[in-house]
Structure 1
Amino acid sequence: MKYLVTGAAGFIGSAVVEKLTSDGHEIIGVDNINDYYDVNLKLARLKRIENEKFRLIELDVADRDAIKQLFEIEKFDRVIHLAAQAGVRYSIENPHAYADSNLVGHINILEGCRNTKVKHLVYASSSSVYGLNAKTPFSTSDSVDHPVSLYAATKKSNELMAHSYSHLYDIPTTGLRFFTVYGSWGRPDMAPFIFTKKILDGETIDINNNGDMWRDFTHVDDIVEGVVRIADVIPSRDVSWTVEKGSPATSSAPYSIYNIGHGSPINLMGFVKAIEDELGIEANKNFREMQPGDVYQTYAEVADLFEATGYKPSVGVKEGVAEFVKWYREFYNK
């Protein structure tokens, strides 16, 4: 089939492209290759996934006319929309970047799917939508009406926008709430990368909430497997569904939402210890209070995704950290 993958130079996007091309699909990738973080890392990802099945088009999903033209020319079967302005803390300082990429960009993709009758749109949501939820594990049946960052609010908005298009135009849409993805080729603004870099450079790492935090760390290989599998599970209308009795993760429209995580959170200090053990270096640590936009715990209930796809994460933290550290040391010659 012919796929559009947005955010193709990104951490998850490049890995999804690699998997889809290895499965024989034709991929058009879109990315604006912005400088939110190291452009050279993005270019290296693209170099790694070069093959005859993949073609990159450099453009911004917020460019309405360019996206409209792209859909009209290419006629995609399926779309995996991963492009977004990422980062919780960056959203506190640069809110307009999130409105442009995550809101305008998302509706441009929805419009492209509507006008060219795309068979399935899979898009990235985030575990951050759970916001102030204290009940664990986080379930897609839970309320997600209290986000604690603008980034989270844009992701919740993406789900609502997708539902309206599924309802009005019969576009099958599936949102995936990603939980703390890590692994080789990962983002420099995320904790595994920051911790590894600073420990190797002899710098002090910041430990938020004095180390009393839990995260459902999920290796990118497991994430990619889940994304590719769910692309084959196209939601359909359920005429028996009602707001009063149905889950908010499903609908009378061809719409679905899934958590995609490991389903077994670990303490932040345990994750730091795994990195220290792999590097053979004890980190210098600065313990500090909870930071704005942070949440105490993330923990994915993934039974629905397993039932739909057979998805079952297989990469444990020790194995995943070893894989990431090996890549980091080789890529940065550390």
Structure 2
Amino acid sequence: MTILVTGAAGFIGSHLSAALMARGETVLGIDDVNAYYSVALKEARLARLTPNPAFRFLKVDIADRAAMEALRPQLADVTGIVHLAAQAGVRYSLENPYAYVEANVMGHLCMLEMVRNLPNVRNFVYASSSSVYGGNKVLPFSVEDRVDSPVSIYAATKKADELMSHAYSHLYGFPATGLRFFTVYGPWGRPDMAAYLFADAILAGRPIRVFNAGEMQRDFTYIDDVVAGILAALDRPVQPDESGVRHRVYNLGNHRSERLLDFIGVIEQALGRAAIKQMEPMQPGDVPATYADIEASRRDLGFEPATPVSVGIPRFIEWYKEYHGVK
């Protein structure tokens, strides 16, 4: 079988591609390798995958309609699609909203059109985000909660992806599963995410920006647990609901909300250095707490996160030091 993975040069996409090949799948990776963050890091991730003959890579922008339509004849053997490519980052969506609509809305639409026109695709799994819960004050966040009050453009585009996927599944009958990721971290992670930003600043002796005076909570989820959840969703195409629609969304989180200051403390301990904390107010588009209710994911996907931050952060720091040559 050939699995198409979009965002294959990304953090989650590169880990997923490796896991798919480890279990005997052939992977076709797509990514535009844009410069939102370090291109060198993306290329280094790809360099770990490309020696494997089971991996083929195409540099394509999923939001480029003409390029995607031209690509379609090469994908006749694709049996599953995991769509992870997106413009990420809540704060950047305030600076450049056009990038989010282009990548996350137009790009997602192009992928849905791809799915409905490919003859052998048995399942479509795509990345949503915990950001869709917006300012929800009821914890933990459940997939049954209403999510029609986003507080960032990024969140709004991810909710739009869920709505479009439901419509396409209703119209064309294919199974589609949306996965709401909760603050994923680990080796080869994104430089704009908390663990990377904090480690980088602490080692350089720079202050770290601690928003909302540290009164923040996040459901930090280790990369291996997230990949296991994606594979489970890929292996379990959604069955029709009472209306005959084959679309569901699930939370993939650690099912544990960590205080931000405690999270920083684990990083300090792993580095053997103290952080200089610069307390700042809450940022526009941010939320004070995230916490995943994973009962539906457990029931339907067999999802069971196994990595606490006390284990995951030292693994991330070990990789960070090796990648950056820190002794």
TM-based fold match above 0.5 = yes
Per the TM alignment, residue 47 of structure 1 is displaced from its structure 2 partner at its CA by 0.6
Q: Could you tell me how far apart the structure 2 residues matched to 1:116 and 1:254 are?
A: 17
What is the letter of the counterpart of residue 52 of structure 1?
P
What is the letter of the counterpart of residue 261 of structure 1?
G
CA contact (8 A) 2:127 2:179 kept: yes
Q: Could you tell me how far apart the structure 1 residues matched to 2:218 and 2:260 are?
A: 7
Q: Corresponding residue for 2:232?
A: 229
Q: Could you tell me how far apart the structure 2 residues matched to 1:74 and 1:131 are?
A: 36
Please state whether the residue corresponding to 1:14 is helix, strand or coil: helix
Give per-residue Cα distances to partners, 1:106-140, cap 9 Å, x unaligned: 00000010111421110000000000110010000
CA contact (8 A) 1:209 1:288 kept: yes
Q: Could you tell me how far apart the structure 1 residues matched to 2:66 and 2:21 are?
A: 27
Q: Corresponding residue for 1:47?
A: 47
Q: Corresponding residue for 2:95?
A: 93
Please state whether the residue corresponding to 1:77 is helix, strand or coil: strand
Alignment of 1:237-256 (within 5 A): 237-238=240-241, 240-241=242-243, 252-256=244-248
Q: Corresponding residue for 1:248?
A: none
Following TM superposition, where does structure 1 have runs of at least 4 consecutive aligned residues deviating by more than 6 angstroms?
none
Please state whether the residue corresponding to 2:91 is helix, strand or coil: helix
CA contact (8 A) 1:71 1:113 kept: no
CA contact (8 A) 2:75 2:118 kept: no
Alignment of 1:11-26 (within 5 A): 11-26=11-26
Per the TM alignment, residue 69 of structure 1 is displaced from its structure 2 partner at its CA by 2.6
Q: Could you tell me how far apart the structure 2 residues matched to 1:301 and 1:70 are?
A: 38
Alignment of 1:214-293 (within 5 A): 214-238=217-241, 240-241=242-243, 252-293=244-285
Per the TM alignment, residue 48 of structure 1 is displaced from its structure 2 partner at its CA by 1.1
What is the letter of the counterpart of residue 240 of structure 2?
R
Q: Corresponding residue for 2:117?
A: 115
Give per-residue Cα distances to partners, 1:277-325, cap 9 Å, x unaligned: 1111111010111011110100001111111122111111011000000
Identity %: 49
Q: Corresponding residue for 1:135?
A: 138
Aligned residues: 323
Alignment of 1:1-334 (within 5 A): 1-50=1-50, 51-75=52-76, 76-117=78-119, 118-238=121-241, 240-241=242-243, 252-334=244-326
Per the TM alignment, residue 147 of structure 1 is displaced from its structure 2 partner at its CA by 0.5
Q: Could you tell me how far apart the structure 2 residues matched to 1:274 and 1:235 are?
A: 38
What is the letter of the counterpart of residue 285 of structure 1?
K
The range that moved more, 110-119 or 80-89, is 110-119
CA contact (8 A) 2:105 2:161 kept: yes
Q: Could you tell me how far apart the structure 2 residues matched to 1:143 and 1:72 are?
A: 39
Normalised by the size of structure 2, how large is the TM-score? Answer: 0.97
Structure 2 unpaired stretches of 5+: none
What is the letter of the counterpart of residue 317 of structure 1?
V
Q: Corresponding residue for 1:244?
A: none
CA contact (8 A) 2:222 2:312 kept: yes
Give per-residue Cα distances to partners, 1:212-257, cap 9 Å, x unaligned: 000000000100011011101101223x35xxxxxxxxxx301110
Q: Could you tell me how far apart the structure 1 residues matched to 2:310 and 2:79 are?
A: 38
Q: Could you tell me how far apart the structure 2 residues matched to 1:274 and 1:149 are?
A: 29
Please state whether the residue corresponding to 1:73 is helix, strand or coil: helix
Q: Could you tell me how far apart the structure 2 residues matched to 1:254 and 1:70 are?
A: 26
CA contact (8 A) 2:4 2:30 kept: yes
What is the letter of the counterpart of residue 313 of structure 2?
V
Give per-residue Cα distances to partners, 1:63-85, cap 9 Å, x unaligned: 11221232332221110000000
Please state whether the residue corresponding to 1:145 is helix, strand or coil: coil
Please state whether the residue corresponding to 1:15 is helix, strand or coil: helix
What is the letter of the counterpart of residue 105 of structure 2?
L
